[in-house]
Chain A
Amino acid sequence: MTLRTTRAWVLTTPLALLLASPLLPQRYRGRFSEDEYLPPPPDANEETEYYFVRLAYQGGGNGYRRSRAWMTDSPAADRHFLQGVRRLTNIHARSMEKYLRPLDPEIFNHPWIYAVEVGYWHLNPEEAAHMREYLLRGGFLVVDDFHGAYEWEGFFESMQRVFPDRPIVEIEPTDAVFHVLYDVDQKVQIPGIQYLRSGNTFEKDGVTPHWRGIYDDQGRLLVAINFNMDLGDAWEHADLPQYPEHWTALAYRFGINYIIYAMTH
């Protein structure tokens, strides 16, 4: 690429993006607009037992997915969900989210971590080994918001690096994770905000929702995999009147169950 063509790209790309912005999906606009500017809650620095920790992974590919996919829906989703956790449970939870890189040793101080858009995550061997160690010590990983065969492949590729020898299985409806605080119905697909535009509860070819998991040798869930659904959006848009409340409520229940399960098993 010549210097001239580079300069042309630099000048034209932002302009093109600006012009095309009304055409971008609603969720992406939300991400880049108001959410980034949510001020920290007054008690954001309180030392608590539980922190909503997001895995700040490096995505594959280029651009947004490489650098920012991990923070999809944040911080609104995190803050809304945390308010629910604080109100509905006895968990001493901090009101503000926390972001940690896969190799950050601080990750071991937080045995619950959330990763989003994992169809585009990329864990290198060192990061995968670190995550494996984290999970084997007692950490708990929730992955969310990825859809269809293509994104599953993207997720699976890195997950295999974490646990090459542990199968990913469907979580049985009787598993404690669905009953630890709330008895939740796993047949309901929780869609993202795109539902308001498309009327579909699914995205891409991810028609059927799956609650999958990876277990340890003692039968304890290590990784909860929300495939073909988007709990993050349901939390993020908890205050959006157009987004159906029952999906948000269900997403809260799933999320809270994941935390309490992680704190009891």
Chain B
Amino acid sequence: MFEFLFKYSPTVFRKGEFVFLTGWPLWLLVALVAGAAAGLAWHLAHSPKSSHVALVRRVLVCVCQTILLAVLLTLLWHPVMRVATLRPQQNVVAILVDTSRSMAIKESPDTRLDKVQASLNSGLLKKIQDRFQVRLYTFSSEPNRIDNAAQLTPAGNATRLGGSLAGVLRETSTLPLGAVVVFSDGADNTGGLDRAVLAEIRQKHIPIHTIGIGRTEIPRDLEIADVTLPARALPGSRLSARVQLRHNGLSGQRAHLSIRDGGRILAARDVTLGPQSLQTEEMLFLSGEPGTRKLTIAVDPLPGEEVTGNNLLTRIVQVTAGRRRILYIEGEPRWEFKFIRRAADEDQSVQLVSLLRTSANKFYRQGVDDAKQLAEGFPTTAAELFQFEGLVIGTIEANFFSAAQQDLIKEFVNRRGGSVLFLGGRKSFTEGGWQASPLAEVLPVRLGTQTGVFHRRPVKASLTPQGRESLLCRLEEDSDKSAARWAKLPDLADYQLTGELKPGAVALLNAQLPGSKDIPLLVVQNYGRGRSLIFATGGSWRWRMRLDHKDTTHPTFWQQLLRSLVANTPSPLTLTSDRVIYSDDDHVRLRAEVRTKTYEPASNASLAATLLDEAGRLTRFEMHPSPDQEGIYEAEIAAAKPGSYQVEVTAHRTDEQLGRDTLVFHREDGIAENFHPQQNRELLEKIAAETGGRYWRLEDVAKLPAEISFSEAGITTRETMDLWDMPAVFILLLLVLSTEWLLRRMWGAV
């Protein structure tokens, strides 16, 4: 219809330039139209023949005649569209056909690839070849040139649209490439089109026409779309896996979800599939002993599922060996101290080094490495304090610490990225003058000035909504059961009023004061690179003494709280990769953040990096400083074969070793194509729109050959296309004249 009315396809108007050929000034046209309108208006206003006609009618006649004149005058200026078109047979058009395994999916009754072949061989390819030189490629991970469309086999393990397009551009860089045509289901499993590739295509003005293949929805399909898990964990800690399920046509059904470590089931439960196609389920499990865990997250196939290969995902978790060190300074002997120590001593993942002021001038040290450690009291240098990863400050006056030590504690959180936990007690918070300390800024609550706010009265701790969801407060894997246990816990021995929460702080536990509103008890907030927490009581030991000796509530809570202090504390060298599992992809980006012993970014470090593959082959590689960020070093390496790889990096500066870190990642092949098998129309439309091409449905693709011509890439010519003879112009003129005639007829003027 559009082409009937406007003579040309929409692409001509979208890509072309509208100009007047006569070269007469445009202002003259505007002036003539305005003059004609004014003249007509004057004539109708002063003509004695029209003096008896109503004003509204005169205005309508004037408008009709003005439009008529304006159109005629515009046509006199000779309007045309100028558009760049590819010169026939002088340009190359690359046709890429997706031959990844997802193209083998049968869709009534042919496979996706069968449909592409049928379309190409039914004359489409010949029509394109009539106008252009055609280069035919298949692609999955990379493009392969083929001679004809008969050689198509859907065997590719992955779809890399970006990489394949980049490959074609490289191969045709010396050729006049006019356009690219991509037949694909768009089920890319490497994150879509790379920005650099997109920029290169844009720069060359190469339009990419995408032809979407396959259904945009798979009926009756259940897929594990993603699993979010921490890459590293402490031994024996409770981990949360957030499993994202995507399902279609299965709402209301029950599915069995499990996490396995080899043959061992770590967590399993049934879930009900909700009305939304995406839903997230949380699975909790214990990290276990130190080592690398290759976890399988699976959902059992449901009856009638077409694709079951997407019901399983693999993730790797590194359970780090060694104890993370926490320094606990306590101002007076008290029961809370004893039971915190007991909880920590039972935890193999933390080392609680404590400094207890037993009398006015005496300290009792526990958990120290040797007789010298902390012999002089609380650390006075960054190097000494920053060797710890977490800090607990018990009930002690603020002025026990020197000004320098207070600054050091602040930097411990801000720069070193450690976490600090302040406990309630008779010398804590305002009772200890902390409101006047520089450390008040670090606290997650605003301290008042009032003293006498520490009360040795029993009080019940209750979960806040955030605390209910937090792993830190989780006593059972199931949040409802956990909340039920919290509700039954004995009272705390005491509590302390602190102040209102700062913006960004989150209360996980409140204390329920009888006849009064709840007050914050356990509060956490981020501060700098680390975190600060308060636990405004010294009486959680009642959870140990007032429950059966086999009850684990108290040690579980405290072990989780202590681990939360150190779980995310960075070490001087932190090595990360852009992914942990590389599905049908060998391209690995590594990043190392290196800091000095005082946790300043180490800009002039030398890094020794090695890659160990499963066969025991050791490869050395370089890590280069990032040009953008101080203390950041980067590398791109290739994981040549499927399997597990271990990267080890050591950073030195002169003769001093700054840090060492290891990282494990895994490459697996033949997996990626099982996921997102439906047509990703959104991605294909985006690629077409970003490059000046167009998204096509397979059934509309017959018009493609004509459309390909409109391109500014390759060898082009600028075509001038007249607009005066567009049917739409004549229809407009006819409409205006008819309208005026009909009006006059209605008014009895003719």
Contact = CB atoms under 8 A, between A and B. Distances in A.
Given A47-B456, A109-B545, A91 B332 contact: yes
A180 B364 contact: yes
Interface in B132-164: none
Interface stretch (A31-39, A116-124, A134-142): A134-142
A111 B549 contact: no
B333 interface: yes
Interface in A138-185: 138-139, 180-181
A129 to B, nearest CB: 12
Contact of A260 (B333, B346, B457): B333
Contacts of A89: 333, 358-359
B498 to A, nearest CB: 20
A211 B634 CA distance: 63
A138 B457 CA distance: 21
Nearest to B542: A109
Contacts of B457: 47
B202 interface: no
Contact of A218 (B345, B456, B538): B345
A123 B342 CA distance: 28
Bin the interface of chain B by size: 20 to 34
A88 B362 CA distance: 10
A93 to B, nearest CB: 10
A109 B498 CA distance: 25
Interface in B328-355: 331-335, 337-339, 341-342, 345-346
Contacts of B544: 137-138
Nearest to A265: B338
B357 interface: yes
A133 B542 contact: no
Nearest to A135: B549
A263 B333 contact: yes
Given A136-B549, A180-B364, A90 B339 contact: no
Nearest to B426: A92
Contacts of B332: 49, 90-92
A263 B548 contact: no
B360 interface: yes
B333 A91 contact: yes
A90 B357 CA distance: 7
Interface in B529-552: 538, 541-542, 544-549
Nearest to A179: B364
B426 A265 contact: no
A90 B360 CA distance: 7
Interface string A242-265: 000000000000000001101111
A48 interface: yes
Contacts of A138: 338-339, 342, 541, 544-545
Contacts of A260: 333, 358, 364
A108 interface: yes
B360 A264 contact: no
Nearest to B455: A47
Contacts of A92: 332, 334, 426
B450 interface: no
B333 A90 contact: yes
A109 B493 CA distance: 8
Interface string A51-81: 0000000000000000000000000000000
A176 B198 CA distance: 70
B345 A139 contact: no
A257 B357 CA distance: 14
Interface string B352-393: 000011111010101000000000000000000000000000
Interface in A178-218: 180-181, 218
Contacts of B493: 109
A111 B542 CA distance: 10
Nearest to B334: A49
A89 to B, nearest CB: 5
B20 to A, nearest CB: 94
Contact of A264 (B337, B542, B546): B337
Nearest to A90: B332
Contacts of B339: 138
A262 B338 contact: yes
Contacts of B334: 49-50, 91-92, 263
A96 B346 CA distance: 35
A85 B366 CA distance: 22
A133 B339 CA distance: 16
Residue of B331, B333, B456 ringed by the most chain A CB atoms within 10 A: B333
A137 B545 contact: yes
Contact of B358 (A49, A90, A139): A90
Contacts of B345: 218
A47 B455 CA distance: 9
Given A90-B360, A111-B545, A264 B333 contact: yes
A138 to B, nearest CB: 5
Contacts of B366: 264
B335 A49 contact: yes
Nearest to A133: B549
Contacts of B331: 90
Interface of B: 331-335, 337-339, 341-342, 345-346, 356-360, 362, 364, 366, 426, 456-457, 493, 538, 541-542, 544-549
Interface of A: 47-50, 88-92, 108-109, 111, 133, 136-139, 180-181, 218, 259-260, 262-265
Given A47-B457, A48-B456, A218-B345, 14 more contacts: A49-B332, A49-B456, A50-B333, A50-B334, A88-B359, A89-B333, A89-B358, A90-B331, A111-B338, A137-B544, A137-B547, A138-B544, A260-B333, A263-B338
20 contacts: A47-B456, A48-B456, A49-B332, A49-B334, A88-B359, A89-B333, A90-B357, A90-B358, A108-B546, A137-B545, A137-B547, A138-B541, A138-B544, A139-B545, A181-B358, A181-B362, A181-B364, A260-B333, A263-B333, A264-B356
